[in-house]
Amino acid sequence: MKQAENKRADGGIWDTVKVIVQALLIALVVRTFLFQPFNIPSGSLIPTLLIGDYLFVSKYAYGYSRYSFPFGLPPFSGRVFGSEPQRGDVAVFKLPKDNSTDYIKRVIGLPGDTVQMMSGRLYINGKIVPREQLPDYKSQDLWGREVSVPRYMETLPNGVSHVVIEREGDTGYWDNTYAYKVPPGHYFMMGDNRDNSTDSRDENVVGFVPFENFVGRAEVIFFSVEEGASGWKFWEWPWTVRWSRLFTPVK
C-alpha cells in the first residue's frame, strides 16, 4: 500500500513538472514568434505612449531576425518572412550602436527618403508635412514643473495621422537639422515628443536603423500605471492604474 502511495506521489510530482515545462515552452514560443510585452520607461513618445504604459509588440509584423530570439539566437543575418515597416508605425528596435538596447520610436523616413526639420516643421522629400494645431497638452518642463505645450495632429505622406508635442515650441535643439538621406535597408525613427526624444536625428546615439534591428510593431496597451508607481503593487491599483488606457490600440 505504501509503495503504491509513493508511486502516486511521484507520478503527481512528475505531472506537475510536465505542466510547468509545457507552460514555459508555450510562453517562450508566444514571446519569440507572436507577442512580446514591453514597458515604457521614458517620455519620448508622449502623448502617444506614457511612462508606465505596458504594451504588446507583434513579433511577426516585420518577420524575424536574430534580434527576435532570446540572446540573439539563432545567429543568422538578415530577415526571414520579412514585411517592411510602414511610415507611421510605432516600432521597437535594437539600438544600432550596441545591438542590444531596446528603443521604441515612430517610423518617419523610409529607405531612400530625405528627412529634415526646419523651424520645428518636418519635411519629407522636400515637402512639408502638414499639421493641425490642437489644444495645448499638459506636460513638464526641464525642472519638472507643469506647463502647457503646443500639440499638433501631424499627417504623414501615406495618410497616417498622429499627435506630436513641441515642449520648446518650434525652437528646440533638434528643430533645425540638415537633410538626412536614409540609406537603403534603413529607417529614420523619431519620437512624438519632438523636443524630448533621442532618435535618428542624433546620429551619435541612434542614427539610421537597419531593417534587421526591428523587433516588432507596437499594437496595444494592455496595462498602465501612473509615472512613479509600481505595476506589481496590486493593492495600489485602484488609484495608480490608468484605467482609460487599458486595451487601447497604439496609433
**C-alpha grid cell for residue 219?**
499594437
Burial letters 4-21, b for 16+ CB under 10 A, else e: eeeeeeeeeeeeeeeeee
> For the chain, give me the number of helices (H) and strands (E)?
2, 15
Q: Strand 53-58 and strand 131-140: pairing? A: unpaired
Along the 251 residues of the chain, how does pLDDT read in single tens digits? 555 555 554 556 665 555 555 444 444 444 444 568 999 999 999 999 999 999 999 988 898 777 776 655 566 666 776 789 999 999 999 999 998 899 999 999 999 999 999 999 999 999 999 999 999 998 877 677 788 999 999 999 999 999 999 999 999 999 999 999 999 999 999 999 999 999 999 999 999 999 999 999 999 999 999 998 988 899 999 999 999 999 999 99
For residues 62, 21, 230, 236, the Cα torsion angle rounded to the nearest 10 degrees is: 120
Tell me what pLDDT residue 146 has.
83
Assess whether 161 carries a catalytic annotation. no
CA dist 220 and 97 (Å) reads 28
Radius of gyration from C-alpha coordinates of the chain: 22
Nearest partner of 219 among 19, 74, 29, 49, judged by Cα: 49
- From the candidates 59, 68, 94, 105, which is the catalytic residue? 105
Tell me what pLDDT residue 48 has.
97
Assess whether 148 carries a catalytic annotation. no
- From the candidates 44, 65, 139, 200, which is the catalytic residue? 44
Helices (H), the chain: 2-29, 237-240
CA dist 58 and 62 (Å) reads 8
